[in-house]
Amino acid sequence: MSVALIILAAGKGTRMNSDLPKVLHPIGGAPMLHHAMQAGASLEPEHTVVVAGFGSDAVTRAALAYDFEAQVVVQDEQLGTAHAAAQARDALAGFEGRAIVLFGDTPFVRPETLEALMNATADITVLGFEAADPARYGRLVMDGDQLQRIVEFKDATEAERAISLCNSGVLAAPAPLLFELIAEVGKDNAQGEYYLTDLPALARARGLDVSVVRCDEAETLGINSRAQLASAEAQFQATARADLLEDGVTLAAPDTVFLSLDTLVGRDTLVEPNVVFGPGVTVESGATIRAFSHLEGCHVSRGAIVGPYARLRPGAELAEDVRVGNFVEVKNATLGTGAKANHLSSIGDAPIGEASNIGAGTITCNYDGVMKHHTEIGARAFIGSNTMLIAPVSIGDEAMTGSGSVITSDVESGALALARAPQVEKPGMARKLFDILKAKKAKQSRGS
């Protein structure tokens, strides 16, 4: 069955107290809009239409960053959910398949739930949930397995308020029918806006079938405030951690590990406490990520060990059995199989060959204030502690640099490079210098 997604993402989110559009606030290192788009992508939709409004330029960039084929339409005035969905009409002109209306600020609807909506046979299908505390949710008034209408809390009778089956806002219908019904929606309500909640009653008036697909209440969490955003982050992290544990990853202290929407970790990997996975991280099976490490935009291969206290920045590529130790930072650099940088080093813009050893305090000096430059280190090279590699520079296979060297020229394979200023010793000079300095300090103290 062909399906189209209409994702409503036009709201400002006044309660967020932010200049950022609500749907761009991050959960798991990604805009909440991306969560909705990812869930919908599991249906392999023929069309994805994002309805933007406040901050439409930023919402457009975010939508296209996730799916460059997505279509973004703009709701210039926010006149209700039905009015927002109507903005997708032209984008879906000629589309005869099923349309599913999602919300960019409701990020946790599961792919399985969306599949049930896609496969429902009723003319209109609404996503509902049994609420532990129905509070002020709209109620789904049923007649057997048919949904008669959605009634808002403020308009509900006491009997209707006793209903625990509540409206999520998400619904599905054949696209032509959806837009036909939206055209019939009026704005005879306190807000003077057009709402999708009118569609079931309009459909029933035509004698159409209107059904309900039920989901867990946690899937329907909408985010309207910073407090709800924090709760959503906690919910995302709990679910993501549980998924890793189920997939065979060892988390030594799960509550201290933080994951992103796109984090991929292979089974039999050990993740120690207080590790942060930023966006764009893949860790293959059997790796070890030690405590207090931060990874972002990087790839860690099988058998590699990272940390403790390591930082892998975007473009870091670690081959099998690499060792990156404490207080080592790697950015836009590739470490070949078995290479080691065990402590206190900064490696950037550098391919490093297999089995090379990077000594403590090594820095690839890659930035001249304007341009980035590359350092190339061959296989089985040995870089002595506290070596400064002034890029652009190349170190050959099995070459060596002496500790404390400042390397400004290429080093050929197998060579030893020493680049230190000659040591000069002046007998008795230390005592004389100390005497001079002490006298100067005493004179300053008397003057004060």
- Catalytic positions are 343
Strands 393-395 and 146-151, bridge-based pairing: unpaired
Q: What is the DSSP letter of 240?
A: H
Residue type for 315, please? G
**Burial group, residue 121, by CB count within 10 angstroms (0-12, 13-18, 19+):** exposed
Residue 121 backbone class (left: φ over 0; alpha: ψ -120 to 50; beta: rest): alpha
Residue 301 CB coordination number (10 Å)? 20
Distance CA 284, CA 293 (A): 16
Query: Residue 1: which of 172, 146, 171 has the closest Cα?
Result: 172
Distance CA 117, CA 219 (A): 14
Distance CA 377, CA 395 (A): 5
The beta strands (E) that lie in 216-336 are given as 250-251, 264-265, 270-271, 276-277, 282-283, 288-289, 294-295, 299-300, 305-306, 311-312, 317-318, 323-335
Strands 146-151 and 71-74, bridge-based pairing: unpaired
